[in-house]
Every structure is written in structure tokens, then in C-alpha cells.
Amino acid sequence: MYLILCTFLQMASALANRAIGAIMGSAVADAAAQPLHWVYDLQKLKGILALNPNPEFHPESANPFYRRETGKQSCYGDQAYVLLESLSECGGLNIDDLKQRTLKVFGPGSEYDTPVNDPYRERGGPRPQLPIDGPWRHASLKSFLKNVDAGKEETGCENDCQIDGIAKLAPIVAFYAGQPDMLEKVEQAIRVTQNNDECVAETLAAARFLEHFILNGPDPKALDAVLNQLNDPNRKQPQDLDKAVIGHIHQVKENLSKTPQELIPSVFTNA
């Protein structure tokens, strides 16, 4: 009995460590990437890395849109922190609290509240001087603020399917990993700022991956495990776009042998 109890405690400790590691790893990775965030010009990026081959925590920002000190979070990392804080303070997902914290961090009077980041700034006016000093408030957050101003219950942006959902999901997956309502909670949290079906489907797939690693540790067959989940007709939180997500995962499997330098120009033609 004692050995069984010790084994159980060790398993619980390992799971907790992986959950904490997911949150910490997400935050560190965001801060590490922030100085070279949104450098879409591959030739410019190659030039930067030729001088310093280590892209993480680059000492000077080369971001063409905004500049923050090295070590600070991007707009994605800040969203993850808001979600983590809300989960911690409320003991679980509280949508109203999450909305209010998001409004406080990204809304009027915050460091994100600058003329260039004004959600009501008209297009076609004078082009702003880029990069700006300070963080960047992007499309989904601007729509969130407009929807809050309009008194809408559904505050998420309907036409934004950028990476926000995946980038900020570590805290909520870590909190609910192994619980039957994990995917439901993820979808509810994501739709606060991104009420877009494509974004939600991709984010739920990412949540499945992260939960798998938190519960099981390293697994070279994780891709197949998530594919099996998505192909299950009785899967939790099914989405109309799950077949498209399955296709994307198969595309990943087909390109696993390629380096990022090979993959990006050949697959992501807009890069």
C-alpha cells in the first residue's frame, strides 16, 4: 500500500511539474521571441542572424511594427498572463472576470492605448511612423474593445484567426488537463477575443496536443494520438472544421524532415 501511495504521489508530482512547465515554457518562449517578432522579411532576418546566430532574447528589437525591451512579453504573452491571473484569482474559468482583466490590460488607459493602436483609427489616413515605442494592439483585441463598447455579450472578433488562441492556451490547458470539460473551457476562453470557428478548431487541436504531453510526458506518437482523437466520431467538443485540421496535421507529418529554412518558403508562400 505504501509503495502504491508513493507511486501515485510521484505521478501526481510529475504531472504538476509538466503543467507548471507548460506555463513557464510558454512565457519564456514568448519573451525569447519578442525582439524578432513579426520580422517577415526573410532576407532581413538572415542578416540579423548572420551577426548573432542565436535568435532567442535578441538584445535589440528588430520588430518592424513595435519595440519593447528584451524580456517583456508580446501581445500574445500578455494575453496568456491575463488568462493565468484570472484562472488563479477565480479558481477556474470565469468569463466575466476574464473580460474585465482583458479590458484593463489592453483597453483605455493601458500601455496598449496609443494613437496607432486606436481601434477606431480610420484607414487611409496618414501612415504612422513605425516601429512604435511600446506594445502593439492587434486586430482581435481592437475588435474585442469595440464589442465591449457596443455592449455585446459575444465580445470576440468574428474574422480574426491569428495565432492568439494557441499562443495563450497553456494556462487553461494546464489548469484543466485530464478533466472532461477541458476542451469546453478552452473554447469558452478563446471566444472572448476570437469568436472565429477556424481559430477555435485549430486552438482545440493544439490544446489536445498540450494536454497529451502534460498527462503523458514526451511521446513521439503524439501526432497520431491527436489524430485518433479528432477522427473519433464521439470526440469531445467537435468542430465543423475538424477534418480540415486533420489535413493540416497530416501536412505537418509530411514535412517533419524539413528545416524551418526549407519549410517556410516552400509551404508558407506569403512569408
In tens digits, what is the pLDDT along the chain, a chain of 271 residues?
444 444 444 556 889 999 999 999 999 999 999 999 999 888 899 899 999 889 999 999 999 999 999 999 999 999 999 999 999 999 999 999 999 999 999 999 999 999 999 999 877 667 789 999 999 999 999 999 999 999 999 999 999 999 999 999 999 999 999 999 999 999 999 999 999 999 999 999 999 999 999 999 999 999 999 999 999 999 999 999 999 999 999 999 999 898 887 887 777 665 4
72 and 151 Cβ atoms separated by less than 8 Å: no
- Find the CATH number of the domain harbouring 40: 1.10.4080.10
240 belongs to a structural domain? no
212 belongs to a structural domain? no
46 belongs to a structural domain? yes
Q: If you ran DSSP here, which 8-state letter would residue 161 be given? A: -
217 belongs to a structural domain? no
> What are the Cα distances from residue 244, in Å, to 197, 239, 241?
12, 10, 5
**Considering its fold, how many domains does the chain have in total?**
1
Torsion of CA 112, 113, 119, 122, to 10 degrees: -120
64 belongs to a structural domain? yes
41 belongs to a structural domain? yes
* Domain membership of residue 49 as a residue range: 2-198
Question: How far apart, in whole angstroms, are the C-alpha atoms of residue 113 and residue 257?
Answer: 43
Question: How far apart, in whole angstroms, are the C-alpha atoms of residue 230 and residue 233?
Answer: 8
114 belongs to a structural domain? yes
How many Cβ atoms from other residues are within 10 Å of residue 184's Cβ? 15
151 belongs to a structural domain? yes
